[in-house]
Structure 1
Amino acid sequence: TREEDKNQDGKMDQLHFKLELPLQPTEHVVGVQLILLFSYQLYRMSTLVMQSMAFLQFFSPVPGSQLYMNGDLKLNQRQLLHSCGLDTRYNVSVVNGTSPFASDYDLTNIIAAYRDRNVTTVFSDPSPVWMTGRAPDTPFIINATIRYPVEVILYPLRFWEVIKFAWIQYVSILLIFLWVFGRIKMFLFQNQVLTTTPISPVLPVSPVLSYKHHQ
């Protein structure tokens, strides 16, 4: 099992998982249910740390030798993430390994409790490939590639983010308006679309010319 940074940006892009399950010659595998646990962390815009999972499942009427899956670990939000502070609401183990109760290890209860959360991860589009023809002395193999896709995170905007967005929109509209208004004004004057009447300025009467001599 290993993680890989394909684009060399310092962030892991996918997980290569491999599990070999030794079997007796008389044993056969016709289905797989597997939970993989992850520590999911976000550090930009919204700060979130949680424990999440990917659930792999496949069944076949024919015994298999290997199961291959290739899919995305996608973030599922039912509400906006917190925009300030560290969100650790779900930073608890998906499976309570310290519980003495058998019901806490039941797969149905684990998935039901996990799906009650407002923020989860889901293994989507797994594209399963079921291979048959296992030799009696070979193990059953599970191979999975789990990709970490680019996600759209929903969170409430902070005050300064709202101001920044509004200012960018205002400036963009203002520049477009000024450009269009300038073009319209130039067109009107160059093509004499509007009727204009030249008016000569009226000069004020000079005090010398208006002087009348009295005898």
Structure 2
Amino acid sequence: MAFYEVYSHPAVIRYRTSVCTKATLFLVIVLCLTYIPPLLVAFRSQGFWLKQSSYEEQPVVRFQYQTLMVAATSTQGDYVAWSTFPHLNNMLGPSLRIPAVSVREEDLNQDGKLDLLTLQLQLPLRNTEEVYSVQLLLTFSYQLFVSVVDGSSPFASAYDLENIVRSYQARNLTTVLSCPMPVWTVGRAAGSPFELNVEIRYPVEVTALTLSSTYRPGFWETIKFAWIQYVSILLVFIWVFERIQRFVFQNQVLTTVPLPAGKPHLL
């Protein structure tokens, strides 16, 4: 009659000894070498305690339709300007030029958050005028409702670009338009306006969170980051020393009394 295996399970063998023996000392040394070195390795490899973290987030950006433009028309300081602020426009006098403006914001990936701003501005000029440089200020909301331009102010200093940029950079949170790639094309036909085309993309931002020296992280916050590093190293040590113990006790390198599980035995 042929036989086949219907069930199997590992046999447990217990190795017993008294307290004051070499086997007990060996076990204490193995436990110390298993659990303490991984802690030292994780701590000395930097990053054991949470000090800096970062995350990516798509900002909610909205164009506020607040614009200030100054175009230099000569090298002697002549200029034309326009803004969406009535108080400033009243102070410009003959330097005021009202352009034709079109603005479009698009959600390219259909995630409910805008990704792109396209602005086209046509500034009317006299045949004798040329544009040498342009300063353009556009305001956006970045989930912040503090305007950088006081549109209700009747004073010219409130619309000075230098003051606006200085006060903006003094805030705790700022955004930067990076990698500008301006292209200036000359050769405007007589009677045609000066055209300004702007394309601004709203990328995913990487926000870094740095903990100050006075910050004391809570217990669970510390454990969440430190425990993962410790356990990942500990598993390797457990695997190695488990096989060392098995070899020592199975081959009776240190004298112990082997006893199958479930059978009582008195030393």
Do the two structures share a fold, i.e. TM-score over 0.5? yes
CA shift in 2, pair 1:147/1:178, >3 Å: same
Which of 155, 172, 183 in structure 1 is aligned with 2:240?
183
- Number of paired residues? 155
CA shift in 2, pair 1:123/1:168, >3 Å: closer
Distance in 2 (alpha carbons) for counterparts of 1:123 and 1:183: 54
TM-score normalized by the length of structure 1: 0.59
Q: Could you say which residue in structure 2 is the equivalent of 1:73? A: none
Shift of 1:187: 5.1
Q: Percentage identity across aligned positions?
A: 44
Higher normalized strand content (fraction of residues): 1
Shift of 1:109: 2.0
Shift of 1:98: 1.6
Q: Could you say which residue in structure 1 is the equivalent of 2:185? A: 131
Which of 120, 140, 153 in structure 2 is aligned with 1:38?
140
Is residue 2:205 matched to residue 1:103?
no
- Deviation per residue, 1:108-139 (Å, 9 max, x gap): 22222222222222222111111111111221
CA shift in 2, pair 1:199/1:169, >3 Å: closer
Higher normalized helix content (fraction of residues): 2
Q: How well do the aligned residues superpose, as a CA RMSD in angstroms?
A: 3.4
Distance in 2 (alpha carbons) for counterparts of 1:162 and 1:153: 24
Distance in 2 (alpha carbons) for counterparts of 1:123 and 1:199: 73
- Deviation per residue, 1:54-94 (Å, 9 max, x gap): xxxxxxxxxxxxxxxxxxxxxxxxxxxxxxxxxxxxx1x22
Distance in 2 (alpha carbons) for counterparts of 1:141 and 1:104: 27
- Shifted more, 13-22 versus 28-37: the winner is 13-22
Q: Equivalent residues in 2 for 1:50-69 (5 A)?
A: 50=145
Is residue 2:227 matched to residue 1:173?
no
* Bigger RCO of structures 1 and 2 (CA < 8 A, at least 6 apart): 2
CA shift in 2, pair 1:149/1:112, >3 Å: same
Is residue 2:201 matched to residue 1:147?
yes
Shift of 1:33: 0.2
Distance in 2 (alpha carbons) for counterparts of 1:126 and 1:170: 44
Shift of 1:171: 4.1
TM-score normalized by the length of structure 2: 0.49
What code does the residue aligned with 1:109 have?
A: N
- Deviation per residue, 1:181-213 (Å, 9 max, x gap): 123422564599x98144558x879xxxxxxxx
Q: Could you say which residue in structure 2 is the equivalent of 1:12? A: 114
Q: Equivalent residues in 2 for 1:72-91 (5 A)?
A: 91=146
